Amino acid sequence: MRLLQSISGHHRSLVRVIGRRYFAGSTEEYAKRNYANNDGEYNTVITSITSQRRHYLLRDVYDDMMLDGVKPARDTFHSLIVGTMKGARLQDAFFFRDEMKAMGLVPDVALYNFLISTCGKCENSQQAIQILEEMKRYEVKPTGQTFICLLNACAAAGRLDRVYAIVRDMTAAGLGLNKFCYAGLIAAHMNKTPITDDTASKIIELVEQSKGWSSVESTRDNAENVMMGISEEELYNIPTAEYIHRRSGFFFRQLTVFHVAFRAIADLRNVEAMERLLDMLTKDGNAPDVYILTQIMRCYLHSGDLDRGQKVFEDYMNAGKPPMAELYATLVEGAMVGYTPRGMQLALETLEKMTARGIRLNPKMVNDLFLAASGEKTGGYTMANYLWDLMQSRNMNPSPPAVEAYYRGLKERDIPADDQRLILVTRTYENQRLRFGQGGGIRFGQGGGRS
């Protein structure tokens, strides 16, 4: 595994070929260079890479398997496709499916579910539908999870007509709608373009209907997903998937429909609908978890109501509950909307209090805030500078989009050419352009775009 930790590029397989074929030494030397020798060991490597979120290396590992003459078993293909699903790498997922079929292995229903889920992550509903047609050709019987994966894949692309067609098919097959189906219906209304005036009322109506949701048969599927480390939230691309392992009241799984609804209403900036939704939640005997509180704050803050957004935060903190980094990040991000002097001051004060309490944001949160702060066109750029300095002090890697926005923001201001911060930012920006290409963008997934 020491060699695995040293992987740094996509051309590593070629280096291994040259090293093995032209500079082959003793069997002992070869063993030292090789990080896996059989299918089981390669499967362990694949699992490790996926857990490290280095999904871009999965094709390299597979190439090495082929060079070593190791034939992947069905379980290994499952691990490869799960890795591409988690990384939203659609082209890689289809490559592994084709390789599997070329070796005489027909994908089973679980693997097809992973492929449909990947299509959903990449907002490619047409490919998801084609996968269902392929299942029919190979006589692979879809399960309840298959239909829910397909429903949510179409919902991600805003294909409301397709979503309701799937609901009709499920009903005709005797399958009830569970909370993930209603979550998909809400997402479909939200992602449909253009958004209509009655979208908020439709969402409220679906939440009301969901109270009688049933459990779709999925015991066997769930068991396999648990073994693969996949939650239902992740399989169906529910927004709360990344919080599934959080504790301390951050996330209550039974509130899935409310989670999706509050997020959608916050995106709509509809305070009236949000407060109605909150009333429905409390009348059902439920208290909002932290995730819902972040969406309530977003709704107020993005609607320009700093006072009420801040009050939700302070009420939580004054109740003596565990401080949550996500609440701080939500307040900071929301306060920066519009880049008003008062909002920017509140954002800075919140960050300073958080830092003083020793509460740390993860790199993604910091980068998201840094990108938002770098969009400030007037003012002293205090927030952006603070976040840059914070990342430098903690050795965090700033994302290329954030660096580019910050660099352009500095260049638009009257800053001396020999300013040390400007020199460092310029160097970072130019290095990232060389590494990632013009514009500094990174492809985190493949095959995106709605269809």
Q: Could you report the per-residue pLDDT of 199-218, keeping only the tens digit for each?
A: 999 999 999 999 876 665 55
Q: How confident is the model at residue 20 (pLDDT cuts 50, 70, 90)?
A: very low
Distance CA 320, CA 322 (A): 7
**Residues 123 and 231 occupy one common structural domain:** yes
Q: Using an 8 Å Cβ cutoff, are 291 and 324 in contact?
A: no
Tens digit of each residue's pLDDT (9 = 90 or more) over 277-291: 999 999 999 999 999
The predicted-structure confidence for 81-125, as pLDDT tens digits, reads as follows: 999 999 999 999 999 999 999 999 989 999 999 999 999 999 999
- 30 part of a folded domain: yes
| 158, 191 contact by CB (below 8 A) | yes
Contact criterion met (CB below 8 Å) for 203 and 273: yes
Phi, psi of 140 (to 5 degrees): -95, 115
Assess if residue 26 is contained within a domain: yes
- Label residue 435 by pLDDT band (50, 70, 90): confident
Q: Which of 22-36, 161-175, 201-215, 221-235 has the lowest mean pLDDT?
A: 22-36
Residue 36 has pLDDT above 90, yes or no: no
- Provide the 3-class DSSP secondary structure of residue 446: strand
Q: Give yes or no: residues 98 and 7 share one domain.
A: yes
Specify whether 8 is located in the same domain as 60. Answer: yes
Mark whether 114 and 213 lie in a shared domain. Answer: yes
180/96 same-domain check: no
Q: Does residue 139 carry a pLDDT above 60?
A: yes
Residues 97 and 116 in one domain: no
Whether residue 449 contacts residue 123, with contact meaning beta carbons closer than 8 Å, is answered with yes
pLDDT above 80: residue 32: no
Q: Give the per-residue pLDDT at 451.
A: 53
User: Is the pLDDT score of 133 beyond 50?
Assistant: yes
Question: Has residue 445 got a pLDDT over 60?
Answer: no
Please give the tally of structural domains in the chain.
2
Asked if 129 and 225 sit in the same domain, the reply is yes
388, 400, 402 from 442: Cα distances, Å: 20, 7, 12
Amino acid in the structure at residue 406: Y
Q: Per-residue confidence at 423, pLDDT binned at 50, 70, 90? A: very high
In a domain, 415, yes or no: no
Q: What is the gyration radius of the CA atoms in the chain, in angstroms? A: 24
Domain boundary among 206, 238, 270: 238
pLDDT at 190 over 80: yes
Query: What range defines the domain where residue 211 resides?
Result: 110-238
Higher pLDDT, 304 or 447: 304
Query: What pLDDT is stored for residue 19 in this prediction?
Result: 39
Residue 88 per-residue DSSP state: T
Residues 184 and 220 in one domain: yes
The torsion angles phi and psi of 285, rounded to 5 degrees, stand at: 85, 20
- Residue whose C-alpha is closest to residue 350's, from 399, 302, 389, 317: 317
Looking from the CA of 198 toward its CB, the CA atoms found within 13 Å total 3
Span of 176-190, 370-384, 434-448 with lowest mean pLDDT: 434-448
136 inside domain = yes
Q: Quote the percentage of the chain above a pLDDT of 90.
A: 79
Judge if 163 and 203 occupy the same domain.
Answer: yes
Q: State yes or no: pLDDT of 178 exceeds 90.
A: yes
Question: Alpha-carbon distance 255 to 159, whole Å?
Answer: 24
Q: pLDDT band at 260, cuts 50/70/90?
A: very high
Candidates 304, 295, 308, 291; CA nearest to 266 is 295
Does residue 29 surpass a pLDDT of 90?
no
Q: Say if 139 falls within a structural domain.
A: yes
- Check whether residue 161 and residue 78 sit in a common domain: no
Q: Are 401 and 426 in contact, with CB atoms under 8 Å apart?
A: no
Residue 256 to residue 251: CA distance in whole angstroms: 9
Choosing from 238, 255, 287, the residue where a domain stops is: 238
Write down the mean pLDDT value for the chain: 88
pLDDT band at 244 (very low <50, low <70, confident <90, very high): confident
Residue 114 and residue 233 share a domain: yes
Task: Report if residue 264 sits inside a domain.
Answer: no
**373 inside domain:** no
CB atoms within 10 A of CB 128: 27
Residue 176 within any structural domain of the chain: yes
- Region 9-23: mean pLDDT is 40
Domain boundary among 213, 238, 263: 238
**Are 117 and 233 found together in one domain?**
yes
Q: What pLDDT does residue 13 have?
A: 45
